[in-house]
Amino acid sequence: MLTQKQMRAWFEAFLPNATGLSARERLRSGAGAAAALTIAGLFLHVLPGFSSRFPLLIAPMGASSVLLFAVPASPLAQPWSVIGGNVIAAIVGVTCGIVISNVPIAGAIAVSLAILAMFAARCVHPPAGAVALTAVFGGAGIHGMGYAFAIAPVALQSTMLVSLAIIYHSLTGHRYPHRVVKVKATTPAEASMATGGGFTRQDLEAVLARRNEFIDVDIDDLEALLRETQLAACRRTFHGLTCGDIMTKSPLTVLEDTDCSVALKLLERHAIKALPVRDTDHRIVGIVTRYDIHRAQASPTGPQSIGNALGWLLPGKDNARSVGSVMTTRVCTAKGSDSILDLLPTFSTTGHHHIPVVDEGNHVIGMITERDLIAGLHAGTQIPQLEAA
């Protein structure tokens, strides 16, 4: 015996979900259908000889107009689906009406075969089922047209509605025929996520294949929607954390003319692996690591290495043993206002382990390591949980 709560849940399952469309968009859709059907009907009415031989507008065109103006992004509402689906269904319906004498059976088979034919031709259009039935149940007038029914009125009226839909959507600022809107990433990290993070196109196709059902969304639209949702969740999750939030402030720095031995002692004493190198105005000019210093000390024998060796031994040879002679001058830096997500491609693909943070004047204000980034990402995942609590 179902409880009251279970009965309520069962009945609520019949309630439709909200469409999410604004009142303006709903009015735009209704006005478009009214305008298109009116124009098409008036045009066919004044077309010489048409109104006396064919229906001005067959009933399925009303259903086609719902798709064309209310859900123009649907694969079922695209030009080939509307025109191809209606024409194929008309041909199938006329054929079944001729071959099968039992009208109810002819109608049922016509719709069934029309569905199969539309799948084969990749132009599934639900109102076309009504076109197939119209061809069978339409009476002596439509039966007398024979296969001409597929040309006029079906093909003519379908083409007119599609043409009017293209004009109307263009005038009202909508895209039709529908084109997929690509995901717009605002940062390099988001661009990386949009193209490869989380799932691939092959993953999406595999899931749809397992479901084995027709979904009224183009796969390109579905992928773009999921990518955009992924980016929105990413932005929400990390809640605007910036490089300034996770950096080590006022990091140790050295001048260009600092002796390499002094720099090495600083690196060892503070258990760090890199030092930003600055000029006398505190602007960054390079970065030096333990590896840079050890590589200079262990450079192979040669004219240049002899000079370096003398620099290590003779106090007067400052240039040969200064930080400026071994540092990396092309430095990857970040601004304090940059999102921490911007650092992900840098750390993951370029081999960097330390990124100096600079202000607008290129002065060193902080340092970010891989450990800092991981700590920041972990902190970002905790913020939504704290807000929910």
175 HSE (CA, 13 A, CB side) = 6
pLDDT tens, position by position, 71-105: 998 999 999 999 999 999 999 999 999 999 999 99
By CB neighbour count within 10 A (0-12 exposed, 13-18 middle, 19+ buried), where does 36 fall? buried
- pLDDT 10s digits, 16-29: 777 778 889 999 99
Cα(283)–Cα(190) distance, integer angstroms: 30
pLDDT number for residue 239: 57
For the chain, the structural domain boundaries read 20-171, 188-238, 244-388
DSSP 201-259: HHHHHHHHHHHTS--SS-HHHHHHHHHHHHHHHHHHHHTT-BHHHHSEES---EETTSB
pLDDT at 67: 96
Residues 6+ apart with CB under 8 A from 202: none
Per-residue pLDDT for 153 more than 50?
A: yes
Alpha carbon distance 230, 215 (integer Å): 21
Q: Which residue has the higher pLDDT, 317 or 364?
A: 364
Contact 273/267 with Cβ under 8 angstroms? yes
The helix-helix angle for 60-70 and 23-46 (nearest 10°) equals 140
Q: Tell me phi and psi for residue 323, to 5 degrees.
A: -60, -35
Name residues whose C-beta falls within 8 Å of residue 279's C-beta, 6 or more positions apart in sequence. 255, 256, 285
At residue 89, the pLDDT reads 97
Regarding beta strands 248-249 and 364-369, do their DSSP bridges make them parallel or antiparallel, or are they unpaired? antiparallel
Q: Which fold has domain 244-388?
A: CBS-domain (3.10.580)
pLDDT reported for residue 191: 54
Do the beta carbons of residue 323 and residue 263 sit within 8 Å?
Answer: yes
> What integer pLDDT is reported at residue 26 of this predicted model?
92
CA distances from 206 to 180, 200, 202, 224 (A): 21, 10, 6, 16
- Average of per-residue pLDDT across 23-44: 93
pLDDT value at 290 more than 70: yes
**When comparing pLDDT for 158 and 237, which is higher?**
158
Contact 380, 237 (CB under 8 A): yes
